[in-house]
Every structure is written in C-alpha cells, then in structure tokens.
Amino acid sequence: MTTPSIDAHVRLDVHPHHSSAVTAVLTGSQAHIAHAALEAGNWSAVGNSTLVLARIDHEEPYWAEWAAEQLAADGITVEITPKLREAMDEEWTWANYPMHWCTRSEIRQVSDDAQKIHDDIRHGHLLIHAHAHDGHTTVAVGTYLHRNGKSVYLHGENHLRQVADIFDSPAAALVAFEKAHGAAMRPGPAPLTDTEQDTAQARTSFGPPTARAESSRPEPETVPAYAADAGNHDALLETFLEDHRDWQKWRTWSDDTTHAIHEDQTLRIEHVHETQARETAWTIAAYESPVSDRMWVLTASGATPAPVMRELLNQLADGDGLDTAIGTPVDEKMVTAATQPLSDAGWKHTVDGRWIRWTSPGGDAGIRFDAFTAQHPSQNLATWTVWAGSDPDSPIWTVTASPHTPSSLLADLTENLAHGIGTRKTPKTSRRIATTTTVPPGLPRVYKHQPVGRSL
C-alpha cells in the first residue's frame, strides 16, 4: 500500500544554544499534521512553526531520528542537517555511570524511564509530597493522579531517577518516607537541578540561556568532617587496597559485597555496595587468630562522610586494630583516652543513667557510650555510637563500636570528629562523553515515504 504524500516539510537541526536539544521547523500547507505528531511525541512548541525536543537524559538526537522515521512513514518530508546527523551517529557514554553493568541500550532504557517520571511530574500527573537528600542523592515520595493512583518512592536525579518502591496509598508512602528520612525531609518537590532548568528553558525559547540569579546547587563549602558528603565509598575502598598491598580482597558471587582481609587474617573489612544511607555499609572486625572468635567489631552506615571513613581505613593501615591483644575490658581510663579530643574541642559532656554523651557545640553530632553493654564484652554489642544530624534518634549516619574496640582507634575517630574538615555539596549529574563514531549513517538526510512499523 502506497503511503499518501502530505504537503509538509520538517527541518531538524541542533538547538543553537542548548546542548543536545533538537529543533524542528515546519513548512507546507499541511504543516499542522507534522506539528500534531511531534507534540504527541513530547516535542514542545516555541512558535507557530517551530518545536523543540529537550530531554533531561540528553538523548534528543536518538529520539529525533526516531521521530524522523515516523514522520517519513506518514508521508512527511524530513530534512536532517549535517550537524544533527553527526550528533545522531555519535557514540557516547556517561562518565562514571553508576550502573556500569548496563549495556548502551539498557542505559537508554533507564534514562527514558527517568524522562517519563520527569514528564509526569512536569505535567502534573505525579504529585510530589516531600523530598530529602539521603547523603548521596535526592529522594522523593509522590502519588500518581492517573493510571492506578499508586504512590511511589523515587530515588535519584535527572537521568538516574527511578521508582524504588510502590505503595498503595499516600499515607503509607509518607509514613515510610518519614521513617527513613525524617531529619532531612522537606515538603513538596526538590528544587530543579541545573539540567532540569536548562531543559525547561530550551523548551520555551530559541534564545541563549539566561543567567541564573543563583545556582540551584551550592558551591562546595568547608564543613566539619562529620557534616561532609559521603562521597564514593567504593572508590575509598579501592584506593585503600591499592595503597596497602598487605590487604587482599574478594567479591561475593552476587557482586554486592567486597571483603578485604589483612595478610595475617586477623583483621577483616566487609563493604556492602548500594546500601541505603542509614543501613550498615561497612563492618570492620578483629580476631585474636584466624580461627578465633571475634574480639571487636565496628560498623558504619552508607552515608558516613568520606573524611570519617577514609580516616578509619587509614588508621587500620597504620596499625590501630592490628594488635588485637589490646582489647581489654572498658574502664574509665579507656573512655577518657578515647574521648579526650572531644573534651578539648568543647563538646558538651553529660551523664544520664547508663548513657554518657558528648555532643558537638552545634548539637549536630555526638557520641554515646553505653556503660551497661560495656560490662558484657563477650556479646560484641554496640557500646559506642557516633551519629550526625539534627536528631540523634533519627541520624543521617552512624558508626558503632563494640566494647573491645581499641581506644587508640576510637581516639583517632574522635580527633577527626573534633578537628577534621571536609566538603559538602549536592552532587552534580554525570557528564556524557563522546567516543569515536562507529555507527554508519543509517538514514538519508531527507526522509520521504519510508514506511516503518512504529507509531509516533
């Protein structure tokens, strides 16, 4: 069956001012048909005869080529400029993409799913009730006002945003979200990211980007170590192992956990990848001999700041903890030695029954010592708890240590809390990097009457 010819011409080109965005200029007596088809495909009108495709995943050239095929199949003539054709044929990948196991097509699928979430929020189909920062990225909770009306927990930003959990009602979703992120929870949607702002501007204007009064993301600021960003814990462990060859590593068959063991096999590290901010991501344990019971154990949650985690690893490498014979019962002298840096730095010291506490001058971090569990060392209970956040009962991150944890290791930890510094900044999105073009031009520069099976 011959495809009917339509008097419409679509010229596709790169946006003059916005990276990766694509423009479509329409001419012909039936240009309105092409206009309707492109709008249905998520293109935005910026004039009577001009539309723009702007996406948060920077996949506009790919979807513009797909749209060109659909228009051509309907009998509409499509012209692609050489510059856009070059972008369509370009092979590229995301720098430092967190889901490194994905193929290029799978990465595109993840990005397209994130784009659909973004569009649902933008068009008012997905109402965001609250958001928070979990120490790594932005999380949010919302409810769909169409489809099945389910509530969702969203994790990530821009092209990495995903539905991480589904709830039957807004109430159930908000209760779970508040339980996980109570201290950091804020009402409504998060501020637009730089990518979302650029994309929104490209959809409404052919002109150059306007200067922002202030960035949606703060510049790096110097903060106490306990308030710093968590950074990349996987990279911290890799650097530690590269610098200390007396440690060997192996990864579980499921690829979700890495174990590092000192050459004398009495000190071991377990790092669980892809954990939530408050879940245990690190477990460090010491043994009197390779086959003995555990003498002491220290844990750290997923949002533990990079300066704190790095210092703990460095102290292990320097020998704090290797001499497991120093694991003697906790007494007043040991507690004083472990917390002296806090006292010197003016942290508030209080005693409340079985609990002895040290709190930072700003009240945003602290250490709690449990005198009762200290008298039961064989159980390896959490005698020491380090926390940071606005509320010790709902902390952003925690480090716990059992009774026999060496006082020298604890003193190094408290020294870092009292005087260490780090940086805090909400992470930017990943960059995309072009590689050598390996895909030959798959479509001619002018499409006309080329039937394909997909619908726009």
pLDDT in tens, 372-424: 888 776 667 789 999 998 777 788 999 999 888 888 899 999 999 999 999 88
Write out pLDDT tens, residues 92-115: 777 667 887 888 889 899 999 999
What is the residue whose two structure tokens read 């110097």? 222
* Residue 237 sits in the same domain as residue 372: yes
* Residue 390 sits in the same domain as residue 370: yes
* Residue 271 sits in the same domain as residue 420: yes
Residue 54 confidence (pLDDT) above 70: yes
The alpha carbon dihedral of 55, 58, 61, 67 has a sign of: negative
* Residue 22 sits in the same domain as residue 46: yes
| C-beta neighbour count of 334 within 10 angstroms | 20
For position 147, what pLDDT does the model report?
A: 63
CA distance 375 to 319: 26
Whole-prediction pTM: 0.52
In this structure, are residues 52 and 20 in contact, taking their beta carbons and an 8 Å threshold? no
* Residue 343 sits in the same domain as residue 245: yes
Residue 146 confidence (pLDDT) above 80: no
* Residue 177 sits in the same domain as residue 299: no
* Residue 371 sits in the same domain as residue 234: yes
For position 378, what pLDDT does the model report?
A: 65
* End-to-end CA, the chain: 19
- Amino acid 408 reads S
Range of the domain at 60: 9-90+435-447
Residue environment code for 375-412, b if the CB has 16+ CB neighbours within 10 A, otherwise e: eebeebebbbbbbbbeebebbbbbbbbbbbbbbbbbbb
Structure tokens at 1: 């069956």
| For residues 58-85, average pLDDT | 93
In this structure, are residues 12 and 24 in contact, taking their beta carbons and an 8 Å threshold? yes
* Residue 183 sits in the same domain as residue 238: no
For position 215, what pLDDT does the model report?
A: 44
In this structure, are residues 46 and 13 in contact, taking their beta carbons and an 8 Å threshold? no
Domain for residue 197, yes or no?
Answer: no
* Residue 415 sits in the same domain as residue 442: no
Bridge partners of 187, per DSSP, are: 130
* Residue 181 sits in the same domain as residue 83: no
Domain for residue 195, yes or no?
Answer: no
Domain for residue 343, yes or no?
Answer: yes
> What is the number of helices (H) and of strands (E) in the chain?
10, 25
Domain tally, the chain: 3
In this structure, are residues 53 and 42 in contact, taking their beta carbons and an 8 Å threshold? yes
Bridge partners of 126, per DSSP, are: 144
* Residue 283 sits in the same domain as residue 368: yes
Residue 446 confidence (pLDDT) above 90: no
Structure tokens at 80: 């692609």
What is the residue whose two structure tokens read 């972008």? 87
CA distance 8 to 99: 42
* Residue 418 sits in the same domain as residue 365: yes
Domain for residue 216, yes or no?
Answer: no
Residue 91 confidence (pLDDT) above 60: yes
| For residues 26-33, average pLDDT | 93
Q: How confident is the model at residue 211 (pLDDT cuts 50, 70, 90)?
A: low
For position 214, what pLDDT does the model report?
A: 45
